Amino acid sequence: MKYDKDANLIWGNYKIVNDCLLNHICLSSKEAVYVTGFYHHSTLSQSTTITGCYTNNGTEAWFYDYGNPNFDYTTSSGVQVDINNNCYVSGLKDTLTTSQEYKTLKYGISSGTNRFQNPNINGNNSILEVPKIYSLEQNYPNPFNPVTVIRYAIPESGTVKLIVYNMLGQEITDLVNEFKDAGYYNIRFDASKFSSGIYVYKIDSRNFTSMKKMVLVK
């Protein structure tokens, strides 16, 4: 909400999002208003970082949700805007693994228009921009027990298959088998029902194929 110097309401923008707290605000040189906070996913007991931008007349320009509510717990601790109207959000990211990371998000904004091709709206991705190359990263943690995270990137939209095999070459589970937009992705692998040992995970997307080993220790 925006008030004048005499406390008269100039405009108000009300977004109904349950279990949402916006706790930081910043004003740009073009009088755009940037807000950030977190959205608590009560059914999953996790949270994601939300960031929004409003024009000087109160119109919502964009509103993004960062994080994966299935296994991320992210919070924001501040928001700032540079002279080019790029928005920066800092905070913490925690996962169901033991890792905790500082995070800094950058949203590129020009005259209130979203420049990103794949904004992270539904929390299924960790996307800030489109990657330039295909990649499959080493899972973390590794060795693990029983949960680990696999990250991959695809520069083009298409069908993605991410499959886990045992050392006999037998498929034990498919983590991804569907069409995906270009972007960065985090996949949680829960190996609670599998025995200790070495496993291989393999990704196929268009002409890209890659595989890596991971070690489950119980």
**pTM for the full model?**
0.48
- In a domain, residue 27? The reply is yes
Strands 197-205 and 158-165: antiparallel
- In a domain, residue 122? The reply is no
Q: Both 13 and 90 in a single domain?
A: yes
Look at residue 218 and tell me whether its pLDDT is greater than 70.
yes
What is the rounded CA–CA span in Å between residue 49 and residue 72? 10
Q: What's the pLDDT band for 185 if we cut at 50, 70, 90?
A: confident
Q: Both 141 and 68 in a single domain?
A: no
Q: Both 144 and 186 in a single domain?
A: yes
- In a domain, residue 56? The reply is yes
**pLDDT tens by residue, 46-99:** 677 778 788 778 787 777 777 655 555 677 778 888 877 778 887 776 655 445
Could you give the number of structural domains in the chain?
A: 2
Contact 182, 131 (CB under 8 A): yes
**pLDDT tens by residue, 112-133:** 333 333 333 333 333 345 678 9
Q: Both 94 and 154 in a single domain?
A: no
Q: What is the mean pLDDT of residues 122-150?
A: 75
Backbone angles phi, psi at 43, to 5 degrees: -75, -20
Q: What is the mean pLDDT of residues 182-208?
A: 92
- Report the side by side order of strands in the sheet with 158-165: 171-180, 158-165, 197-205, 208-216
- In a domain, residue 48? The reply is yes
The domain boundary, picked from 114, 146, 175, lies at: 114
| Amino acid, single-letter form, for residue 36 | T
CATH number, position 141: 2.60.40.1930
Structural domain of residue 41, as residue ranges? 2-114
Q: Which of 40-44, 75-79, 91-95, 105-109 has the lowest mean pLDDT?
A: 40-44
Q: Both 104 and 187 in a single domain?
A: no
Q: Both 53 and 21 in a single domain?
A: yes
Q: Both 31 and 74 in a single domain?
A: yes
Q: Both 144 and 187 in a single domain?
A: yes
Q: Both 90 and 19 in a single domain?
A: yes
Q: What's the pLDDT band for 146 if we cut at 50, 70, 90?
A: very high
The domain boundary, picked from 80, 114, 148, lies at: 114
Q: Both 101 and 167 in a single domain?
A: no
